[in-house]
Every structure is written in structure tokens, then in C-alpha cells.
């Protein structure tokens, strides 16, 4: 009873809408326990069993809140969302209207798993008496790379990968970009072209509307981001553009995920030139996205990201 009850309360708004935000006063475990105790004392079991499994708009609100946390400062904060995300996912998959969000959420469950691992292994910093507790620091880029190689090694290829990889590598080659980067789609969507994020990214390569239009894709009357070949072409073109700007594949991938401006501002602020110099300051998702792509390339193709050739002109 507790798991579906938690979901009903979460999606019905009994828990704060900012479950994925950065409110320091928000304690998810305490709220969950309190909500469950209140419901068990005050709500009729038959009423709970008859409630609809999922409300589309409220589910989308939850996913937007999750994405806000992915864009937050600290990886560890994602750990508290792991259990709820695992409950929400199968329910999203049971409704046609929310299947695109399920396709977006599924490859990101790994982020919540890894955050939970780091929560157990990274010691909290010492606080002075009378001072508030300091946040658990982000793992280093080297720590991330080691963990992700192990994590990706636990999973087989996504079911759709065989067909898409064969079809889309020639697209990357035609754009003079290393064809191994087609595996970016595993990290972004598990090769599910239906995937759509709460903020509007869509398709195998999770292109935002502005990026798609910038490189010539049409969003209406048919969204070309949902078509494998056109979306692969734009993804390759965008990666080439980012590499030409940053001269480094890790920085290019960080910019692909978090935006060119975010990466450039951090490089300027730290007077830095390498990804590792700014990694712990990037949004939480980006800190995991880059080493996960690296691990996927190593596990699926046996190649290191740093060894990939620069795009040809």
C-alpha cells in the first residue's frame, strides 16, 4: 500500500511541488513518512484503491521538478528522488500521453542510482559547532569516470541500439564527425525516438527546439527531431560546432548538455582550459552526462573519448 499511496500523494500535490528543487528546508523522507501516516489514519482504503493511477499534468509537474534538480548544483541531492522515480516510471509507461516522458526518465534513473552510491561513499564535510551542515561535495571528474565505467558495464545494449547504430553511423560520417558518437543517443534516450523532456527537448538526441531550428530542422507540422536521420544529422553538426569552439570533446559534450554559455562562463571564471577544471561546478546532470558518454563509448566501441579524432572540415 505504501508505494502507490506515496505516488498518489506526490502527484495529487500533498507533497511540495518543489520536490526536485533546492529548498534547504525540504526533507523528502520526513514528508513521505508524515504523508503516509496521515493518509493511513484519515483516508478510506477503498477510496485510495479507486483513485486514478496517474494524472498527466501532475506527473509532468513532477518530471519538471526532477529536471530542476538535475540542473542543480549537487549530485548528492538526486539520491532522495530515486525511490519516487522508480515508482513513477512504470505508471508513465502505462499511458500513451506520458510514454514520451517515461522514455526520457528511463535513461536518467542511472543518475539517481549513482547519486545514491556517492551519498554512501563521500564523507560529509566537518561543520563547526553552531554552524549549519555543509553540503556533501561533488565527486571529482576522475571519480565519476571510474564509477560510470562500472555502471555502464552492468547493462546490455538498449534494445533499439542495433538498428539505429547501423543506420545512423553513416550520418555522422557524412558530417565528418566520429561515428562512435552516435552512442550519445543511448545516454540521452536509450535510442527511443519518442523521448521528450519536461523542458521540451525531444528525440533520440534530445535536441531543444532552438537548437533544432538553428540547424534547419522543422518542428511543425511534423517534428523532425523525432525522425532518426534528421535528428542525427543535427546532433552531429552541433557536436562539430561545439568541438570547433572548445577544441575538446569533454567540453563539447558538457556544452551539448548544459549549453555553450554555461561552459564558457565557468572556463572564464576559473581561468581554465580543461573539463576537469570545471567539472564539479557544472549542473548535476552534466557532471554525470559527460563521464557516462565516455563509459558508453568505451563499453560499446572500445574507444576512449579523448582518442577520438577532431571533426574534419
- The tens digit of pLDDT for each residue in 32-43 reads 344 344 334 433
Residue 137 has pLDDT above 50, yes or no: yes
The more confident residue out of 15 and 228 is 228
Distance CA 78, CA 135 (A): 13
The more confident residue out of 198 and 219 is 219
Residue 163 has pLDDT above 60, yes or no: yes
What confidence tier does 122 reach under pLDDT thresholds 50, 70, 90?
very high
Residue 126 has pLDDT above 80, yes or no: yes
C-alpha cell at 167: 543506420
Provide φ and ψ at 178, rounded to 5°: -50, 125
HSE (CB half, 13 Å, CA atoms) of 115? Answer: 26
Residue 209 has pLDDT above 80, yes or no: yes
How would DSSP label each residue in 84-141? HHHHHHHHHHTSGGGHHHHHHHGGGHHHHHHHHHHHHHSPPPP--TTSPPPPPPPPPH
Least confident of 19-23, 91-95, 126-130, 228-232: 19-23
Distance CA 60, CA 64 (A): 6
Mean pLDDT across 275-297: 98
Residue carrying C-alpha cell 502505462: 94
From the list 305, 304, 255, the residue with the least C-alpha distance to 282 is 255
C-alpha cell at 189: 534516450
Mean pLDDT across 180-186: 98
DSSP state of 76: G
- Contact criterion met (CB below 8 Å) for 8 and 51: yes
Instruction: Give the helix ranges, DSSP H, for 154-283.
Output: 161-174, 184-189, 209-214, 228-246, 249-258, 260-270, 275-278
What confidence tier does 60 reach under pLDDT thresholds 50, 70, 90?
low
Looking at residue 7, its pLDDT comes to: 43
Looking at residue 271, its pLDDT comes to: 96
pLDDT digits (tens, 9 = 90+) for 190-204: 999 999 998 899 999
What confidence tier does 158 reach under pLDDT thresholds 50, 70, 90?
very high
Residue 291 has pLDDT above 60, yes or no: yes
Domain locations in the chain as residue ranges: 2-121, 156-307
Looking at residue 58, its pLDDT comes to: 66
Looking at residue 32, its pLDDT comes to: 39
Proportion of the chain above pLDDT 70, given as a percent: 81
Distance CA 94, CA 295 (A): 31
The more confident residue out of 61 and 300 is 300
Mean pLDDT across 247-266: 97
Looking at residue 88, its pLDDT comes to: 86
Q: Vertex 154, ends 153 and 159: CA angle to 5°?
A: 95
The more confident residue out of 82 and 14 is 82
Cβ neighbour number for residue 291 with a 10 Å cutoff: 27
Mean pLDDT, the chain, whole residue set: 84
Provide φ and ψ at 125, rounded to 5°: -70, 155
How buried is 125 (Cβ within 10 angstroms: 0-12 exposed, 13-18 middle, 19+ buried)? exposed
pLDDT digits (tens, 9 = 90+) for 2-35: 444 444 434 443 333 333 333 334 344 443 344 3
Distance CA 284, CA 56 (A): 26
List residues bridging with 202 in a β-sheet.
Answer: 196, 207
Distance CA 262, CA 265 (A): 5
Looking at residue 52, its pLDDT comes to: 47
Report helix, strand or coil for 9.
Answer: helix
What confidence tier does 51 reach under pLDDT thresholds 50, 70, 90?
very low
CATH architecture of 156-307: Orthogonal Bundle (1.10)
How would DSSP label each residue in 152-186? HHTSPPPTTHHHHHHHHHHHHHHTTS-GGGGGHHH
Report helix, strand or coil for 196.
Answer: strand
Amino acid at each position: 500500500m505504501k508505494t502507490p499511496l506515496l505516488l498518489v500523494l506526490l502527484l495529487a500535490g500533498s507533497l511540495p511541488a518543489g520536490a526536485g528543487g533546492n529548498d534547504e528546508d525540504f526533507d523528502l523522507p520526513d514528508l513521505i513518512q508524515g504523508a503516509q501516516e496521515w493518509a493511513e489514519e484519515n483516508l478510506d482504503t477503498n477510496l485510495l484503491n479507486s483513485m486514478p493511477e496517474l494524472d498527466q499534468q501532475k506527473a509532468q509537474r513532477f518530471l519538471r521538478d526532477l529536471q530542476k534538480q538535475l540542473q542543480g548544483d549537487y549530485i548528492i541531492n538526486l539520491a532522495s528522488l530515486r525511490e519516487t522515480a522508480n515508482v513513477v516510471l512504470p505508471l508513465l509507461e502505462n499511458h500513451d500521453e506520458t510514454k514520451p516522458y517515461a522514455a526520457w526518465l528511463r535513461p536518467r534513473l542511472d543518475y539517481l542510482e549513482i547519486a545514491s552510491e556517492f551519498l554512501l561513499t563521500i564523507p560529509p564535510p566537518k561543520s563547526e559547532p553552531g554552524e549549519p551542515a555543509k553540503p556533501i561535495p561533488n565527486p571529482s571528474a576522475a571519480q565519476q569516470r571510474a564509477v560510470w565505467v562500472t555502471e555502464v558495464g552492468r547493462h546490455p545494449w538498449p534494445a533499439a541500439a542495433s538498428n539505429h547504430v547501423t543506420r545512423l553511423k553513416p550520418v555522422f560520417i557524412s558530417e565528418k564527425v566520429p561515428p562512435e558518437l552516435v552512442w550519445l543517443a543511448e545516454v540521452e534516450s536509450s535510442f527511443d525516438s519518442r523521448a521528450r523532456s519536461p523542458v521540451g527537448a525531444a528525440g533520440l538526441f534530445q535536441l531543444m527546439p532552438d537548437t533544432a531550428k538553428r540547424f534547419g530542422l522543422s518542428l511543425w507540422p511534423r517534428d523532425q527531431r523525432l525522425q532518426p536521420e534528421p535528428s542525427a544529422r543535427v546532433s552531429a553538426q552541433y557536436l562539430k560546432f561545439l568541438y570547433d569552439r572548445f577544441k575538446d570533446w569533454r567540453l563539447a559534450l558538457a556544452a551539448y548538455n548544459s549549453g555553450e554559455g554555461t561552459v564558457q562562463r565557468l572556463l572564464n571564471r576559473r581561468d581554465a582550459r580543461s573539463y576537469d577544471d570545471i567539472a564539479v561546478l557544472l549542473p548535476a546532470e552534466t557532471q554525470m552526462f559527460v563521464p557516462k558518454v565516455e563509459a558508453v563509448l568505451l563499453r560499446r566501441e572500445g574507444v576512449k573519448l579523448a582518442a577520438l579524432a577532431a571533426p574534419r572540415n
